[in-house]
Structure 1
Amino acid sequence: MELYPVNLKLAGRRCAVIGGGAVAERKVKSLITAGAQVTVFSPVLTPGLSQLQENGRLAWVARVYQAGDLHNFFLVFCATNEPAANRQAAKDAQAAGALVNVADAPELSDFYVPAHIVRGDLLLTISTGGGSPALARRLREEIAARYGPEYGHYLALIAKLRPELKGRLATTKEREKFWRETIDLEALDLLKQGKFNEAEERIRHAACCTGPES
């Protein structure tokens, strides 16, 4: 079955995690990073989750999941070490209208969480459709080595300069040509060396040379 790729905005959205172990902790941390409002259902928490709860970063229901708990949640992650409990929670959550991810049963999941690399606002994702998390991790390591922090710096610089350069490059064709040609090894190498001002000037110079008078 072909999957539909999408990046979700979770800021302020209610998300639930069933379980309080290491897998649950990974899910919770990613959700919090995305700005979600997280509720954890579990009798016990890892030290990391306990710290987040003490700091007010998540809500904790200190008991096992019960039927009726999962109304009004957008995403639900079933991450206990009991497959039967995960399956029942998934069924209840889907009946309540939530999208569900089941840690030990990808065939029951509505979505998968891809392995990913973050470079500032640049997000690179790798998914195997739940078929091989190990392969996804391997590919993530290889891609992370190839695309370093300089790509995030490049994206931030482009966002900064875009309004200025849009005025210099009047037509859509000129802008498309410029953005294609500006992503070169020299600009990225300057950013990799921490030479941000030089990289910025290079991009500005490229814009001058790309316009109708060049």
Structure 2
Amino acid sequence: MSLFPLFANLQDRPVLVVGGGEVASRKIEGLLRAGAKVRVHAHELAAELQQWLQQGRLQRLEGAFDPAWIDDAWLVVAATDDAAFNRQLAHEAEQRLRMINVVDDAALSSYQLPSVVDRGALQIAVSSGGAAPMLARQLREQLEAQLDHSLADFADLFARHRAAIRARLPDLARRRQWFEHVLQGPMQAMLAAGRTAQAEEAFLEALHNHQQLTRREGRVVVIPIRDPDPGLLTLKALRALNQADALLVDAGIAEPIQLLARRDAHRLPVLSDRQALAARMSQQAQSGDCVVYLHDAAADPGDSRELITRLAATGVPLQVLPAVTPWRDPPVAGP
């Protein structure tokens, strides 16, 4: 099952949770952190939910379950151990065009609640689509150990000064270059060391002096692809795809490889006229862009030679990354 990843703004929006046990408590805790107005229907409430109810953090819906409650909810969570009731609840939500998560039942759910690494405004969600929740949890734990909590303060710096950044850097390419400069700078290390004021001072200084940044030199990277397995790409190829401002992709390139490129990279058409294509790529690189061409070398290994020759003649920085071929076991010698 393929899921569409989505971060929902639930601030002051009603969410219906059916169930009052430990599982419901875990779901409600996350919903409350997101600012949702949680409404709970359950025969009994766990001690933690009772406490939140007394504190006014959630509302309890009394009496027999009323399907009309779903109409007032942005999302629904079913956290009961009654399988028949959960199926009926999922049906009612479907009829009312409401998204529902049925705990531990991916087939009945129209959305999943992922494992989350929370660093303030920066959040990383990991989901297996309900297929392997323990695997998602393990990956979350690994990310928790790798990502310093100072990232929350770093993200907050960008959030607080977002308007000033956009005003001073209206050009997207220059803004991206400035972001790369700041992200590679010392600010996060300062925040990790507790030097918050010094980090903000350095951040604002970098923003004030943005015009001193040297415009990044553009380049063209040609990556010959001979195998659809994205795991065979070199680290250099992956780095180039992550840095791509403009992307050209031959028709035969496998989708999993294409998905490794920057999502906001501008897509350019692959022109059949190699001279025109070289001129177009060169022009894009001269504007300061990193232009990456995923060439289907398996379809025509020699097709890129003319293009590479023409690109080299333009004088733009050119890099042709070596293709990675799958390992083949050597033939076994006879006796």
- The question of a shared fold, defined as TM-score above 0.5 by the shorter chain, is answered with yes
Q: Deviation per CA, 1:133-155, whole angstroms, max 9, x where unpaired? A: 11111111111111122111111
Mark the runs of 5 or more structure 1 residues left unpaired by the alignment. Answer: none
- Equivalent residue, structure 1, for 2:199: 199
Q: CA deviation at 1:91?
A: 1.2
Matches within 5 A, 1:1-214: 1-63=1-63, 65=65, 67-166=67-166, 168-169=168-169, 171-184=171-184, 186-207=186-207, 210-212=210-212
- 1:209 to 1:60, Cα distance in 2 relative to 1, 3 A: closer
Aligned AA for 2:60? W
- 1:54 to 1:213, Cα distance in 2 relative to 1, 3 A: closer
Mark the runs of 5 or more structure 2 residues left unpaired by the alignment. Answer: 215-335
Q: Deviation per CA, 1:165-196, whole angstroms, max 9, x where unpaired? A: 55554643322101012112632211100011
TM-score where L is the length of structure 2: 0.58
Aligned length: 214
Computed over aligned residues only, the root mean square deviation of the Cα atoms, in angstroms, reads 2.2
- Separation in 2, partners of 1:14, 1:168: 39
SS of equivalent to 1:7:
coil
Q: CA deviation at 1:50?
A: 0.6
Q: Deviation per CA, 1:32-61, whole angstroms, max 9, x where unpaired? A: 222222211111000001111112222213
TM-score where L is the length of structure 1: 0.88
SS of equivalent to 2:70:
coil
**Share of identical aligned residues, percent?**
31
- Separation in 2, partners of 1:71, 1:158: 38
- 1:213 to 1:138, Cα distance in 2 relative to 1, 3 A: closer
Partners of 1:168 and 1:211 within 8 A in 2 = no
Q: Deviation per CA, 1:59-117, whole angstroms, max 9, x where unpaired? A: 21345635554332221111111222211211122222211101021111000011111
Greater helix content: 1
- 1:171 to 1:164, Cα distance in 2 relative to 1, 3 A: same
Q: Which of 176-185 and 108-117 deviates more?
A: 176-185
SS of equivalent to 1:110:
coil
- 1:83 to 1:92, Cα distance in 2 relative to 1, 3 A: same
